[in-house]
Structure 1
């Protein structure tokens, strides 16, 4: 029997999860199949890798010695796929991902066209939903990976920044503040605001930056909280208030001249967009190819 990567991947996942059942669920395998692969690995090395008790499993001395090599093999496999993805122009496959609202509605539609031209044999299935729903579907193996607007803290998830974004003060095109060369925070706060609902990535970036500057958010005149960026834009266009939104989401309205966008003096609302997927999962080459495309291309030409 030869040593193979699949067995090392299973071994690493069992050690991470602390149980054969947890590893089986994470790897989408049956528990007997996981047990069989671990036994085969133990037979290959001639050493027990886990101490099994009724309540939990622990690594043996041999298991602890093997663990860093298994981890390095997984990292090397991921690096290999990333390095080779630039050569896979004839790759065939299905790219299935989830994206949170701003990314799914305003970023990806502008990128999928150029990606499709470069990789015409990869079909794309995109689900647009909130971050919590994306995480849930990834955990249930219904999605391969997701793109989200805020960091995810989860022990089973790998997170990687793929794109930067800036939020700007958004005003009706004829608003008096749009005539000023410099707008201070005090200027902006004299007017009511229309904002995204609590928990949204856009709202979170705005609040965190203002809190960082010592501002009491209760002093902000929030007239409306709306559940979509489109609804917020319509409310601002109707002169119901100002807002702070991603510059990517207002490109069309600025071009039409119905909305204006300005920076607030001394403040930058910056954030990163992240890819997330299970630690225990190796992304298919179609997903690696798409993420490499996002990181290595000059996306400003399309955004």
Structure 2
């Protein structure tokens, strides 16, 4: 794979013991250094105009000023320093690069993966939250459409937390399909099954809130039975995966049971869905806070595109997931 990476993302310092630290990127780089076929691209920072296409201009001015004044605690979880704004622009720029390269046809061993931080999927139109300042995947999706490179974009968010920011930004638009597989009731508490979009966006939001303890078979079934059919029917030009790895069974801040091999199985499915939809495919880093499991999982995604065939889940789909899937079918999601 080709990885978008910029040293400016290391300058966003969150303080001692904060789970979203520069060590996340360092751990990923160390793990990837032991693999062949890894390339790095330092894409341009996102222009402010691309950020204000999805974020309120007043909020952008406020967070820029906050950082210029030295930063501090934006809220209880979201910490900034002077360098945070440049890091956020760098992360958004990497996401834009991933979408651009996917749309240009980069696939297989050249599939793009944006390794940016701070993450983005919790950043709403007019606020930072959940460690996020700029909504990287949303910026990339909107830029691809506004620049005329894509008519439709689909985003799968497999981070353990619901990406309320992406959800809200595109909730009433019909040109971006947002699907999220997340732990029910976990921060930020959003992402209910009956939230399916409104107005022009009706039917282009899919929330799969799984109960704690779900793992590889449940996630893969959600992709097979719902995400895949929905995305293929939507006919996107590019699919972005908001790739958080905090549903891992050893991540310190979730109760899900996805394995490293499970992330490989999920990756093969997204590759096949993109092929069936004749869409580009790119990845954008979100969460993942166990350094070893984060690094191993990103490396697994790389290895899939380097020819590895991950082991398929051999356990049954859990009853707690089956109930969610039945509710989704009642909402009209699934096979078209």
Larger Rg: 1
Larger relative contact order (Cα-Cα within 8 Å, sequence gap ≥ 6):
1
Decide which structure has greater helix share: 1
Please give the TM-score of this superposition, normalised by the length of structure 1: 0.22
Decide which structure has greater strand share: 1
